[in-house]
A and B are shown apart, each in its own frame.
Chain A
Amino acid sequence: MIELRDISKKIGQIIHIKPTSLTLQTGHFNVLLGETGSGKTSLIKLMAGLDLAASGQILINGQDVTKLSPQKRNISLVHQFFVNYPHMTVFDNIASPLRVAGMAKSEIQGRVEEAADILQLRPMLNRRPQELSGGQQQRTALARAIAKESQAVFLDEPLANLDYKLREELREQLPELFAGRGAVVIYATSEPEEALLLGGETALMHDGHVAQFGPTAEIYRKPANLTSARVFSDPPINSATIQKNGAQASLPTGVSWPLDGQAAALPDGAYTVAVRPHHVTPASQGAQAVELTGQVQVTELSGSESSAHFLMGTDNWVSLAHGVHPYEVGEDHAFWMDPAHCYYFAPDGKLVA
């Protein structure tokens, strides 16, 4: 378990991490999701001891490690770039942290072989990293982390430099690799889809702080604030300002729809509505669906899905739907939004319905 208590980080006058508290459980797969510069790597560096916090405490399994150097924290770190010792064989690369720890030769042999089997590196044990493909090099780095059996494993965008398909394969295996190994796994990524595929828990990072933390699918379905909704959405979530008047919500373009439940009970005024692109479709999804009209700006077709970017008043919205849909660029098209999947945020950004 890693506990962060009001941890913060400043370099000069620039705040990298605002005071943050977070508890990451052993055996869980924890994702840090955020854009470049949102503080993912800064936070990992603090936890790994590569940087010292300006304030606050870090505890790993109850032990205060705030001031400990990385080598005393019993952790592993896998980078975006394939970091291996170029002059050593794959075997020696995986064995290196064990040798440093002074482990017996026979035990090293066993642990390295086990890690190599898990990552399908057995036939490559005698090769050097530069003879391997990118995927195999990154597997070697992962095997080193597994063999070490550390308390915490930090994976800082480990798949970013791999081909799309390789990324898919390795991503599928990752949660299983570390399952039941008694480590806290922390995985940083800038891709929302990756967080969803990895599952586990996700901390949404934005501008040096954690906007929301919880089980991945849950926070995807229920973003606590507009920032969370924006960070955890790819393609970007559609949003617009609405006026709530009684049980009616209306867009600046004049389109309105009835509100029910929590949303209807809100005081009248201005709110932000947000809806994911796949809940805005070119065909009606039922009687409740709200018809929107917009001028199509760009269309994209990915084989299984069609997307359209359309201009609705001053807002740029995106629709994403299964199948092939013909759109004429520059023409007005009708889209339907499912109000059951709309989020309503107060002016301060908090989710209210």
Chain B
Amino acid sequence: MKTQNQYGWYFVLPVLLLVAFNALIPMMTVVNYSVQETFGDNVFFWQGLDWFEQILRSDRFHAALGRQFLFTGLILAIEIPLGIIIALAMPRQGFWVPVCLVTMALPMLIPWNVVGAMWNIFTLPEIGLLGYFMNNTLGISYDMTQDPIAAWVTIVTMDVWHWTSLVVLLSYAGLVSIPDAYYQAAKIDGASPWSVFRHIQLPKMKTVLTIAILLRFMDSFNIYTEPFVLTGGGPGNSTTLLSIDLVKIALGQFDLGPAAAMSLIYFAITLLVSWLFYTLMTKDDGK
């Protein structure tokens, strides 16, 4: 029901205040840093847009950004189809529904740093279950602290393990809301299972999938804790994603100005991609 009075704003007010405190004010600080240079002791010099230019031209940033897109692209390409497939395979009613749902939700309940630590231990070649099994039982050399490919496989697998269930739960919610009549009509119309998926299930899941992709994009694009705990960005810089690089610059080298400029660029990219994607997905809903 659409109401036209203005009371709604009173309810939003606390959130607006909260957002102001935890987002706007820190962000203005970042903006402030990004145009200045400091050598500590709270002494600042005006720098203009130099930091932005420097970051945008730096190979280091390009490499990290490339790795970031690769990571996000990979996990989206795996998690979205996998999530849909699992959701399609889940029972729609009966005893197994709650069992499946709870099992699915478990990985998401584990704190991010614990996930990193878990997978770290899990993959250690000497004592980790997976590491030991791969190296000693199967005889496949697997050590993510030495081999960039192994490191990549590990962080991607870890993210898939951690977050596919989000896609599953959202897709499942979309699937169960489809009225039976659609399936019955499709049966009677002689539609193939692929047609049912393509013309009924997928269109009806569109809204939830848009949300799932958006959430997974934003989360994975900003991911920090798990890869940091797991690989620390290594070996070398092979898994140094944008956020890890950013922390290195800001806290490792204490280059606050460039770090601030980089965070703003980072933020702009996330926002732009999300906006583009959302606009594309919802473009023809009004028709």
Whether the complex brings A and B within 8 Å at their CB atoms is answered yes
List, in ascending order, chain A residues with CB within 8 A of B3's CB. 50-52
Tell me, rounded to whole Å, the shortest Cβ–Cβ distance linking B225 to chain A.
41
CA distance A51 to B1 in the complex (A): 9
Contact partner of A69 (CB less than 8 A), chosen from B1, B2, B5, is B5
Binding site of B, secondary structure by majority: helix, strand, loop or mixed?
Answer: loop
* Closest Cβ neighbor of B4 among chain A residues: A52
CA distance A52 to B7 in the complex (A): 12
Contact with A along B19-43 (1 / 0, CB 8 A): 0000000000000000000000000
For A, the interface residue count at a CB cutoff of 8 angstroms equals: 6
* Closest Cβ neighbor of B5 among chain A residues: A52
**Segment 48-74 of A: residues with Cβ below 8 Å from B:** 50-52, 69
Contact with B along A30-60 (1 / 0, CB 8 A): 0000000000000001000011100000000
CA distance A50 to B7 in the complex (A): 12
**Segment 65-88 of A: residues with Cβ below 8 Å from B:** 69
Flag whether A100 is at the interface (Cβ < 8 A).
no
CA distance A69 to B3 in the complex (A): 10
CA distance A45 to B3 in the complex (A): 9
List, in ascending order, chain B residues with CB within 8 A of A45's CB. 1
Flag whether A101 is at the interface (Cβ < 8 A).
no
List, in ascending order, chain B residues with CB within 8 A of A52's CB. 3-5
List, in ascending order, chain A residues with CB within 8 A of B7's CB. 69
List, in ascending order, chain A residues with CB within 8 A of B1's CB. 45, 50
CA distance A294 to B99 in the complex (A): 68
List, in ascending order, chain B residues with CB within 8 A of A50's CB. 1, 3
Binding site of A, secondary structure by majority: helix, strand, loop or mixed?
Answer: loop
Tell me, rounded to whole Å, the shortest Cβ–Cβ distance linking B133 to chain A.
52
List, in ascending order, chain A residues with CB within 8 A of B4's CB. 11, 51-52
Tell me, rounded to whole Å, the shortest Cβ–Cβ distance linking B10 to chain A.
13
Tell me, rounded to whole Å, the shortest Cβ–Cβ distance linking A37 to chain B.
15
Tell me, rounded to whole Å, the shortest Cβ–Cβ distance linking B16 to chain A.
23
**Segment 241-257 of A: residues with Cβ below 8 Å from B:** none
Tell me, rounded to whole Å, the shortest Cβ–Cβ distance linking B7 to chain A.
8
* Max chain A Cβ within 10 angstroms of own Cβ: one of B1, B2, B4, B7: B4
Asked whether B2 lies within 8 Å of A11 as measured between CB atoms, the reply is: yes
CA distance A62 to B12 in the complex (A): 35
* Max chain A Cβ within 10 angstroms of own Cβ: one of B1, B3, B7: B3
Tell me, rounded to whole Å, the shortest Cβ–Cβ distance linking A120 to chain B.
31
CA distance A212 to B120 in the complex (A): 78
Tell me, rounded to whole Å, the shortest Cβ–Cβ distance linking A71 to chain B.
12
List, in ascending order, chain B residues with CB within 8 A of A69's CB. 5, 7
CA distance A51 to B5 in the complex (A): 7
* Closest Cβ neighbor of A67 among chain B residues: B5
Tell me, rounded to whole Å, the shortest Cβ–Cβ distance linking B4 to chain A.
5
* Closest Cβ neighbor of B1 among chain A residues: A50
CA distance A342 to B5 in the complex (A): 48
* Closest Cβ neighbor of B7 among chain A residues: A69
* Closest Cβ neighbor of B6 among chain A residues: A52
Tell me, rounded to whole Å, the shortest Cβ–Cβ distance linking A50 to chain B.
6
Tell me, rounded to whole Å, the shortest Cβ–Cβ distance linking A340 to chain B.
48
CA distance A69 to B7 in the complex (A): 10
CA distance A292 to B1 in the complex (A): 50
Tell me, rounded to whole Å, the shortest Cβ–Cβ distance linking A342 to chain B.
44
* Closest Cβ neighbor of A52 among chain B residues: B4
Tell me, rounded to whole Å, the shortest Cβ–Cβ distance linking B207 to chain A.
23
List, in ascending order, chain A residues with CB within 8 A of B2's CB. 11, 51
Tell me, rounded to whole Å, the shortest Cβ–Cβ distance linking A115 to chain B.
26
CA distance A37 to B236 in the complex (A): 66
Tell me, rounded to whole Å, the shortest Cβ–Cβ distance linking A8 to chain B.
12
CA distance A52 to B2 in the complex (A): 10
CA distance A97 to B173 in the complex (A): 34
CA distance A69 to B2 in the complex (A): 14
CA distance A45 to B7 in the complex (A): 17
Tell me, rounded to whole Å, the shortest Cβ–Cβ distance linking B77 to chain A.
40
* Closest Cβ neighbor of A46 among chain B residues: B4
CA distance A50 to B3 in the complex (A): 6
CA distance A50 to B5 in the complex (A): 9
Tell me, rounded to whole Å, the shortest Cβ–Cβ distance linking A58 to chain B.
14
* Closest Cβ neighbor of A41 among chain B residues: B1
CA distance A11 to B3 in the complex (A): 11
List, in ascending order, chain A residues with CB within 8 A of B5's CB. 52, 69
CA distance A69 to B10 in the complex (A): 15
CA distance A51 to B7 in the complex (A): 12
List, in ascending order, chain B residues with CB within 8 A of A11's CB. 2, 4
CA distance A45 to B2 in the complex (A): 10
Tell me, rounded to whole Å, the shortest Cβ–Cβ distance linking A79 to chain B.
10
Tell me, rounded to whole Å, the shortest Cβ–Cβ distance linking A96 to chain B.
19
Provide 13 A-B residue pairs closer than 8 Å at the C-beta atoms, listed in order of the A residue. A11-B2, A11-B4, A45-B1, A50-B1, A50-B3, A51-B2, A51-B3, A51-B4, A52-B3, A52-B4, A52-B5, A69-B5, A69-B7
Residues of chain B having any CB pair with chain A under 8 Å: 1-5, 7
In the A-B complex, the 10 residue pairs with the smallest Cβ-Cβ separation, listed nearest first, are A52-B4, A51-B4, A52-B5, A50-B1, A50-B3, A51-B3, A51-B2, A69-B5, A11-B2, A45-B1
